[in-house]
Amino acid sequence: MSSNVKRTVIVGGGVIGLSAALAAAESGHRVTVIDPAIDNHAESSGASWMAGGMLAPVTEAWFGEEARLALDIAALKAWPAFATKISRTAGQDLVINTAGTIQIALDIDDARDLERVRNFQNSMGLKAEALSRDQLLDIEPLLSPQVVAGSLISTDLSVDNRALVDTLKLACAHSGIEFIPQQVRRMTQVADRVTVVGTADGEFPCDDLVIAAGAWSSEILKMISTDSEHSIPVIRPIRGEILRLKSEITALRHTLRAHVHGFHVYLVPRANGEVVVGATQFERGFDARPTAGGVYELLRDARELLPYVKEMEFLEARVGLRPGSPDNAPIIDRVPGVANVILATGHYRNGILLTSIAGDLIAALIDHRDLPADAYLVSLDRFSGVTR
Ligand SMILES: Cc1cc2nc3c(=O)[nH]c(=O)nc-3n(C[C@H](O)[C@H](O)[C@H](O)COP(=O)(O)OP(=O)(O)OC[C@H]3O[C@@H](n4cnc5c(N)ncnc54)[C@H](O)[C@@H]3O)c2cc1C
């Protein structure tokens, strides 16, 4: 390998770190991904392995978040080409479930709320189609007879997030990317550059460093001395309990979403008969132990939508830690005060969706290339106090 080839070290091998690794390798960099969970994501509480896998800008859109929606829509549009590309590099197919998403109302008040949300969605040019009770039961016959009305959002899709992680890893391996299954413990800094990333067992020189450590990103940032006049927003872990159930028959085609007993619940079907039921949302530091209450609420609410849930095999109850920024939008930007560090985190509830565009954005930052117009939505400039 030529000595002109730049070395990029990426801390974190979730979907954001892996997609950044692939894009950087494609730009000609020599890439190392360091993550203690890289050989066994199932043992970590990283968000990428735990997620529901919804590619759902419309049903995640909420009043007041119209600006961010542009980014989410761009990510959804990029998904088919992204899936084709990583599948080709990996030599295995990553399949997108294109059946769409149904939002469901279980009583008249819910139906009124759903209509309000549908008007909001349609006012932004997003397509949400009203469904009667009969139409709902026609397209998903195992739904509860208690359902009152619904909306079909045919553009909100899903992907098996675990298959995504595996495909990205395989694509990385085929692209010559090195994996180091260790925890990053320290950084060596010379003037305004991080020159070496240290683990318990090794030292990894770098020309560029990408911090893509999800909910742990602020812990990694603390290892670097940035100019004290720049305060970088803190990334906090937001826990989400999530269940995996399985049945012999294909219980569902569409993703189902509803508001039950005051909580949001979703059921995301997989091609192999699995159904992912998610997810609770609250903050309790890095504690990743599922609670009986969380599991109970998810099962109770899922059963209201799909009574067949009680017949299904219970596979798993886990907690994933979503990386949340102060405004819950991603941060993909250069770290002020250091010349060669990029922060790529804060993807919160939409990191699987945003994987399709995050890697290219990170590679463009590494190479000092021009960024697309909507990149300002993920820049640090939006936070007051961060100056350059
Ligand atoms: C319950 C739940 C449901 C979700 N559902 C969806 C969904 O349906 N659709 C969607 O788009 N998004 C969803 N998300 C959000 C999405 O999963 C995340 O935004 C995304 O996975 C974040 O990816 P990441 O690579 O930044 O972080 P992670 O996947 O958390 O990866 C961070 C990695 O950093 C590593 N790390 C930590 N410390 C160190 C260290 N010191 N040294 C080296 N490595 C380190 C960790 O081991 C981990 O593997 C969901 C999240 C949760 C928790």
Integer Cα distance of 373 and 59 in angstroms:
24
Residue 386: which pLDDT band, with cuts at 50, 70 and 90? Answer: low
Q: What's the pLDDT at 261?
A: 77
Lowest mean pLDDT among 4-18, 108-122, 150-164, 304-318: 108-122
Tens of pLDDT, residues 6-51: 999 999 999 999 999 999 999 999 999 999 999 999 889 999 999 9
Q: How many CB atoms lie within 10 A of CB 284?
A: 13
Reduce the DSSP state of residue 22 to 3 states and report it. helix
Cβ density class 124-139: b for 16+ within 10 Å, e for less = eebebeebebeebbee
Mutate to test the pocket of ligand 1, among 18, 161, 169 (most ligand atoms within 8 A of CB): 161
pLDDT band at 125 (very low <50, low <70, confident <90, very high): confident
Domain positions in the chain are 7-50+163-234+326-382, 98-156+236-324
Mean pLDDT, to the nearest integer, of 231-259?
Answer: 94
The pLDDT value recorded for residue 285 is 95
At residue 176 the predicted structure's pLDDT band, cuts being 50, 70 and 90, is very high
Residue 349 near ligand 1, beta carbon < 6 Å? yes
Residue 128 CA from chain centroid, whole number:
23
Per-residue pLDDT at 255 exceeds 60: yes
What's the 346 CA to ligand 1 centre distance in angstroms? 9
| pLDDT band (50, 70, 90) for residue 174 | very high
Write out the H or E segment, with its range, that includes residue 179. strand 178-180
What is the distance between the alpha carbons of residues 291 and 339, in angstroms, rounded to a whole number?
43
User: Which fold is adopted by the domain 98-156+236-324?
Assistant: D-Amino Acid Oxidase; Chain A, domain 2 (3.30.9)
pLDDT tops 90 at residue 60: no
β 30-34/7-11 pair status: parallel
Residue nearest to atom 16 of ligand 1 (CA): 351
Taking the CA of residue 238 as reference, the ligand 1 atom at the shortest distance is 53
pLDDT score of 124 more than 90: no
**Residue nearest atom 12 in ligand 1 by C-alpha distance:** 350
213 lines ligand 1 (CB under 6 A): yes
Q: Is the CB of 279 under 6 A from ligand 1?
A: yes
Q: Which amino acid residue places its CA nearest to atom 3 of ligand 1?
A: 51
- Find out whether the beta carbon of 324 lies less than 6 Å from any atom of ligand 1: no
The mean pLDDT value for 264-291 works out to 95
pTM over 0.85: yes
Give 63's pLDDT tier (boundaries 50, 70, 90): low
| Section 353-374 average pLDDT | 95
| CA separation for the pair 258, 376 (Å, rounded) | 32
Chain-wide mean pLDDT for the chain? Answer: 94
**Ligand 1 atom closest to the CA of 279, numbered from 1:** 1
Nearest ligand 1 atom to the CA of 37 is: 47
pLDDT of residue 1: 53
User: Is the CB of residue 241 less than 8 Å from the CB of residue 352?
Assistant: no
CB 345 within 8 A of CB 235: yes
* Cα–Cα distance for residue pair 322/239, rounded to 1 Å: 6
C-alpha 357/C-alpha 206 separation (Å) is: 24
> Which three-class secondary structure state does DSSP give residue 274?
strand
Question: 34 CB under 6 A from ligand 1?
Answer: yes
Can you tell me which atom of ligand 1 is nearest the CA of 183? 42
Q: Give the per-residue pLDDT at 385.
A: 59
pLDDT beyond 60 at 388: no
The reply to whether ligand 1 has any atom less than 6 angstroms from the CB of 35 is yes
Nearest CA residue ID for atom 15, ligand 1: 349
Is residue 228 predicted with pLDDT exceeding 70? no
What average pLDDT does range 148-177 have in this prediction? 97
> For residue range 130-161, what is the model confidence (pLDDT) as tens digits?
999 999 999 999 999 999 999 999 999 999 99
CATH architecture of the domain with residue range 7-50+163-234+326-382? 3-Layer(bba) Sandwich (3.50)
145 Cα to the center of ligand 1, angstroms: 36
